[in-house]
Chain A
Amino acid sequence: MDTLFRLRKTFFFMLAGGICFISLARPAVAEVFNTEVRVILASNSDQGFDPRLLDLKKDLLALNYMSFELVDQTGLSLGGGQTGKVPIPGRRVMELTPTGVERGKIVMQVNIREGGTSLLKTQIRIANHGTVIIGGPSFQSGFIVLAVTAHF
């Protein structure tokens, strides 16, 4: 009876240890940050609103431009510290580097380059599944607006 009890006890503690190890070891595993970048051209032309941007309609219309057109959409799966590049019209490039998660928010470094010059360099902490708008670089008769959505 005692032997059986000891065996059960050992099994239980091994199981508990296993569960504990799995649950605690999980954060140590390298996380993948899925980032979606939508490149939008905002202008005052009569193009209207691109229906593919309906989820951002209210926020984009707040920018007070008449036309919003989705130029490009790029999805990136990046590991912590890994940099992904997204081309932007006007021979520019956007570099995204998620560095980790802090209090449920994705810490990300964003760098917009034009040739060898950095136009904008920022570090943001974005909520999981949250979106941030980065805009301003001019293109043709309008401006480039970048909607960055990230989740892990």
Chain B
Amino acid sequence: MRKSRCSRILQWIGPYDDGELSPFRSARVRGHLEDCLSCRTALKRLRQTRRLVRQGVALSMAEENSDLEALHSRVRDGIRLQESESKGRWWGGRLKNLMFRGSRILVPSAIAAVLIAAVVLKIYNPLSSVIKTSGKNECIVDSVEGANGTVMLFKTHDSQMTVIWLSSDHESNEEAQGRWTPYSV
């Protein structure tokens, strides 16, 4: 009798655990489980099995997910690689075109540009204009010799004009030296 009751309860134990039984039947199962150790053990095993199954499913899903992510990553990398390769080929092709097919234009243009720049620099000579503007009266005295008296070098205050003064007998050195700023060497 007990066996037949247990077998019926065991049929309902799964739906009981899922909460799918009617309140009346659920109360009957609960009452039986309080008295029957083997059915309680069966419920416990069922729950353990279900937990293990859930864990296993979750694990496999996680693995699947990670595999899927890795696959996505590989696909994305592949696409990127293909894109970069095709872009590289595109630039390579452009460069090749420019260097070889376009050399008929590029090389003469470069030479012409260099020549024009050389001619412009030669004509306008920006370096000399810098010298002109920076010191119009810039003068370098390389050597100086005086036969009589003393030769003195000065610069005027305003335009920094160089003065080479031959001090003669009529004017003493002190008089001449007092006139201007000494020449800075």
Contacts and interface: CB of A to CB of B under 8 A. Distances in A.
Interface of A: 5, 9, 12, 16, 19-20, 23, 26, 58-59, 62-64, 103-105, 107, 112, 117-138, 143
Given A20-B115, A62-B157, A119-B148, A127 B165 contact: no
24 contacts: A12-B111, A16-B115, A19-B119, A23-B122, A58-B156, A64-B179, A105-B138, A120-B151, A122-B151, A123-B144, A124-B139, A124-B142, A125-B142, A126-B138, A127-B132, A128-B131, A129-B136, A130-B136, A132-B139, A133-B156, A134-B164, A136-B176, A138-B169, A143-B171
A120 B170 contact: no
Contacts of B184: none
Contacts of B139: 105, 124-127, 130, 132
B137 A131 contact: yes
A62 B179 contact: yes
A64 B177 CA distance: 11
Contacts of B118: 20, 23
Contacts of B143: 121-123
A122 B164 contact: yes
Contacts of A122: 141-145, 151, 164
Contact of B180 (A63, A128, A130): A63
A11 to B, nearest CB: 10
Given A58-B159, A128-B128, A129-B132, A120 B119 contact: no
Contact of A16 (B112, B148, B164, B166): B112
Contacts of B136: 127, 129-130
A62 B115 CA distance: 48
Given A23-B122, A59-B158, A122-B144, A135 B115 contact: no
A25 to B, nearest CB: 11
Nearest to B150: A136
Contact of A135 (B140, B145, B149, B163): B163
B158 to A, nearest CB: 4
User: What is the predominant secondary structure among interface residues of chain A facing chain B?
Assistant: strand
Contacts of A20: 115, 118
A73 B108 CA distance: 53
Given A12-B108, A121-B143, 6 more contacts: A63-B180, A117-B148, A122-B164, A124-B164, A130-B135, A138-B170
Interface in B74-126: 104, 108, 111-112, 115, 118-119, 122, 125
Nearest to A58: B158
A62 B164 contact: no
A128 B145 CA distance: 24
B104 A5 contact: yes
Nearest to A135: B165
B168 interface: yes
